[in-house]
């Protein structure tokens, strides 16, 4: 793949709940103009699409220079994993938002830092209203974490969209302007929070349908599947295609440990219901992290048995949940198990991603400095939720002990449980 090139700055606009803009979910920081973040509430989508910071980003990519905002992708690539940059290049070359099957060389020769056409892919972040407090999530994506006295302090402050009355996605004039700026829109993706809890989506989709452009658009959304339906599902038939990305990171006890307070039996029941929704394609979005990497094969087998296509990624933030916090013996074991699963899966795309994860795990000389933070965070969340990693994942704790890194009983924001020495 050439240099630092990525197609997303010419294709995608992500509007966050506070109105700030990014071009991908791995981007560090936000699109800027005159060194200040742009916002859809104060600038037109057309002006944002060619803001000085975004034009400079495109210029650097076309000339093979590194972009500071893309450091996360570069790190994954240096460690052998497939980054979002490489994944999107691969998908684009296979035809995603590239109906003419142009080569990357032609794309780079024809494109300029200033984009003459609007985004073809808009992702709307419609706030943090959510009923789960997943361990790897944050206050900006979960109101439950924001108001949690322990997890919320780890995550830090964020906009509470559940109390916001002037959100950009509630302004029909602004929404209409956003759609007008994207005359060739083909992908509309909705995230939160938990979209099935968001009544605002009904009005957003109503507006899209009224434009008459829905038959050209693939609608997609992320959901934790805690609810198998929502009133806005009624709009599905108007769109070219609809895809639900089910966020799930473990099976059985791993699921319940990570995605508190969700229960596995309810999840499996809701998944089965979603699989019966007419016109809805169901895929799984799996994030590989310290808590699930040793037993991720159980989840993958479950999903494939149910005919659910898997989209799998390595977690990058928070850094103290990156798989590199695991001791060397645990990473070796995880790599062996994932490689074994890669050998048997019938999904070639999944196989490639799993082998990339194996490569990332093979960097045994890389030991994250966040190990102590991982243990303290885990202890805090365990104590506040009456969970216990020694019960949920004894194999992981034993691996630390075996490698001379005994589990520490340190706490930061939670009270130490009775009987836990320290």
Ordered by start, the domain boundaries in the chain are 8-119
Tokens of 94: 């296979």
Residue 106: the pLDDT is 95
CB distance 219 to 238 below 8 Å: no
Residue 422: the pLDDT is 56
CB distance 37 to 18 below 8 Å: no
Residue 161: the pLDDT is 75
Residue 375: the pLDDT is 97
Distance CA 128, CA 163 (A): 10
The pTM is what? 0.94
Q: At what angle do helices 348-361 and 328-344 cross, to 10 degrees?
A: 160
Residue 366: the pLDDT is 62
Residue 30: the pLDDT is 97
Element of type H or E holding 363: none
Averaged pLDDT, groups of 10, the chain, 422 residues long? 87 96 96 95 95 98 96 91 94 96 94 94 95 97 96 90 82 92 96 93 95 97 97 97 98 98 98 97 98 98 97 94 95 97 96 95 77 97 97 97 95 88 58
Residue 163: the pLDDT is 76
Residue 401's CB is within 10 A of a number of other CB atoms, namely 11
Q: Which residues contact 330 (CB under 8 A, 6 or more apart)?
A: 293, 294, 395, 396, 399, 400, 403
Distance CA 289, CA 320 (A): 10
Distance CA 68, CA 26 (A): 12
What's the Cα-to-Cα distance from 162 to each of 135, 140, 173, 267, rounded to whole Å?
A: 20, 11, 21, 24
């Amino acid at each position: 793949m050439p240099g630092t090139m990525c197609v997303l700055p010419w294709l995608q606009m992500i509007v966050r709940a506070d109105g700030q803009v990014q071009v991908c979910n791995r981007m560090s920081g936000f699109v800027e103009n005159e060194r200040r973040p742009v916002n859809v509430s104060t600038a037109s989508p057309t002006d944002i699409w060619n803001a000085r910071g975004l034009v400079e980003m495109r210029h650097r990519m076309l000339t093979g220079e590194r972009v500071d905002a893309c450091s996360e992708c570069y790190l994954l690539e240096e460690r052998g994993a497939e980054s979002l940059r490489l994944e999107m290049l691969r998908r684009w070359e296979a035809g995603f938002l590239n109906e003419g099957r142009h080569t990357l060389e032609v794309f780079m020769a024809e494109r300029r830092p200033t984009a003459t056409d609007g985004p073809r892919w808009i992702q709307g972040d419609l706030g943090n209203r959510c009923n789960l407090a997943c361990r790897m999530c944050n206050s900006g994506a979960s109101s439950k974490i924001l108001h949690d006295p322990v997890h919320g302090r780890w995550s830090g402050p964020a906009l509470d969209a559940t109390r916001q009355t002037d959100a950009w996605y509630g302004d029909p004039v602004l929404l209409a302007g956003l759609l007008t700026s994207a005359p060739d829109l083909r992908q509309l993706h909705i995230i939160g929070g938990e979209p099935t809890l968001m009544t605002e989506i009904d009005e957003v989709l109503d507006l899209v349908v009224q434009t008459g452009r829905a038959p050209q658009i693939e609608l997609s959304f992320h959901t934790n599947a805690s609810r198998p339906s929502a009133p806005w599902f009624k709009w599905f038939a108007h769109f070219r295609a609809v895809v639900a990305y089910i966020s799930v990171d473990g099976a059985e006890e791993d699921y319940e440990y990570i995605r508190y307070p969700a229960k596995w039996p309810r999840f499996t029941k809701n998944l089965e219901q979603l699989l019966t929704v007419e016109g809805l394609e169901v895929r799984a979005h799996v994030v590989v992290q310290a808590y699930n990497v040793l037993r991720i094969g159980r989840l993958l087998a479950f999903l494939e048995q149910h005919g659910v296509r898997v989209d799998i990624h390595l977690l990058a933030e928070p850094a103290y949940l990156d798989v590199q916090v695991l001791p060397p013996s645990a990473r070796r074991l995880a790599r062996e198990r994932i490689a074994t699963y890669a050998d048997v899966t019938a999904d070639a795309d999944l196989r490639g991603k799993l082998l990339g994860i194996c490569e990332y795990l093979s960097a045994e000389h890389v030991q994250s400095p966040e190990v102590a933070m991982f243990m303290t965070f885990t202890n805090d969340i365990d104590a506040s939720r009456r969970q216990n990693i020694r019960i949920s994942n004894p194999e992981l704790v034993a691996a630390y002990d075996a490698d001379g890194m005994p589990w520490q009983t340190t706490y930061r924001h939670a009270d130490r449980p009775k009987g836990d020495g320290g």
